[in-house]
Amino acid sequence: MKERKTLPWIEGAYHLVAEKGLGSLNVEVLARRLSRSKSSFYHYFGDLDNFKDQLLAYHIQRSTELAELIYACEKLKPDVLNVFLQRQADIFFHKHLRFKREVAEFRACYEKAYSTVEQGILEQWISFLQLSGQPFFAKAFLTLISENFLLRITASQYNYSWLENYLEEVRYLLQQANPNS
């Protein structure tokens, strides 16, 4: 019963952070956005720190779901790209964690969520880039590219065409680094 009343707060904050960043996390702004009273926020969560803990736990849950969706995909393109489009809020929330990873709790959540999603995507990544004989390199390259991806994405260009072009740019970069493959 309590979860039914608290989930709108969590989901609302999740989407707010995905859109505007962690600095936008404010009880008054969130209450106004959800047409709820600030007092109900404090009734359910006690304080903003407890709320942030629950919000970060929600991101870990969403990352686990994302990893499962990705793992069920046959190919990186188009399957995983379509999942990335469907789960845009998850990707952008994660982006904002990356920007604030100097805060220990955000860094821990970022690293756990990334590790979870990495496990889901690594097989398709290796296959797409034809790196089956180089799993350690493939994993390290994925980490590097993921960082770059989060720095480059914007809400205005986040669509299938941009994702596909980015992926092809990554493949081209790898081919240039190893022209004999």
pLDDT digits (tens, 9 = 90+) for 159-170: 999 999 999 999
The one-letter code for the residue type at 58 is Y
Name the token pair of 44: 């359910």
pLDDT (0 to 100) of residue 178: 77
| Per-residue model confidence as pLDDT tens digits over 7-37 | 999 999 999 999 999 999 999 999 999 999 9
For residue 123, the SS3 value is: helix
Cβ neighbour number for residue 50 with a 10 Å cutoff: 12
Residue 146's Cβ-count burial label (10 Å; 0-12, 13-18, 19+) is: middle
| Per-residue model confidence as pLDDT tens digits over 103-153 | 999 999 999 999 999 999 999 999 999 999 999 999 999 999 999 999 999
Tokens 């097989």 map to which residue?
A: 123
- Indicate the helix (H) or strand (E) that contains 94: helix 88-99
DSSP letters for 16-47:
HHHHH-GGG--HHHHHHHHT--HHHHHHHHSS
**Cα angle: 141, vertex 107, 146; to 5 degrees:** 20
| Helix/strand number for the chain, H first, E second | 9, 0
pLDDT (0 to 100) of residue 5: 85
Complete domains list, the chain, with CATH: 2-177 (1.10.357.10)
Tokens 């845009």 map to which residue?
A: 88
**Quick one: average pLDDT of 48-69?**
97
Distance CA 40, CA 147 (A): 37
Q: Contact at 8 Å (CB) between 144 and 177?
A: no
Q: Contact at 8 Å (CB) between 41 and 27?
A: yes
| Per-residue model confidence as pLDDT tens digits over 60-110 | 999 999 999 999 999 999 999 999 999 999 999 999 999 999 999 999 999
